[in-house]
Amino acid sequence: MKLIIAIVQREDASRLQHAFAKENIRATKLATTGGFLSEGNTTFLIGIDEKHVKKVMRLIQGESQGREEYMNPNLSMTGFDVSSQPVKITVGGATCFVLPVEEFKQF
Ligand code: 2BA
């Protein structure tokens, strides 16, 4: 068994959640915050048999899209600064980790 941790943008989360349900893929949805932009994103935990990992990854890839965001580089350090220029950041569609699961039990 593997554990897929998939961090996706909030805008894509409910579509992906429906896609998981349609394909009978069990997942847990967590409300998370990106450490860099301090914006809400969504993290899915998916415990899955190894033979289905590629299918799940394809599903995540298909339902997630990259977007451009603007951030104020000085905002988090000094508060609002009118002189600073917003910086364009390209946020990826999905950030995924695939981990081995040593043990899986449900009680
Ligand atoms: P955030 O940490 O809010 O990062 C949002 C986007 O800001 C990133 O998009 C990247 O384009 C940019 N960014 C992040 N750190 C940066 C830095 N030190 N310098 C310049 N630009 C930076 P993504 O790379 O697509 O990441 C989207 C979200 O996925 C992240 O939100 C974070 O929540 C998560 N993530 C990405 N890499 C991760 C990692 N290695 N470990 C844990 N979570 C990660």
Nearest CA residue ID for atom 11, ligand 1: 91
Ligand 1 atom nearest the C-alpha of 71 is 7
Alpha-carbon Rg for the chain in angstroms: 17
> Ligand 1 in contact with 71 (CB < 6 A)?
no
Nearest CA residue ID for atom 30, ligand 1: 34
> Ligand 1 in contact with 74 (CB < 6 A)?
no
> Ligand 1 in contact with 47 (CB < 6 A)?
no
pLDDT of the chain along its 107 residues, tens only? 999 999 999 999 999 999 999 999 999 999 999 999 888 999 999 999 999 999 999 999 999 999 998 888 766 555 555 567 888 999 989 999 999 999 999 99
Domain 2-100 has CATH 3.30.70.120: yes
Give CA–CA dist 78/29, Å, rounded: 33
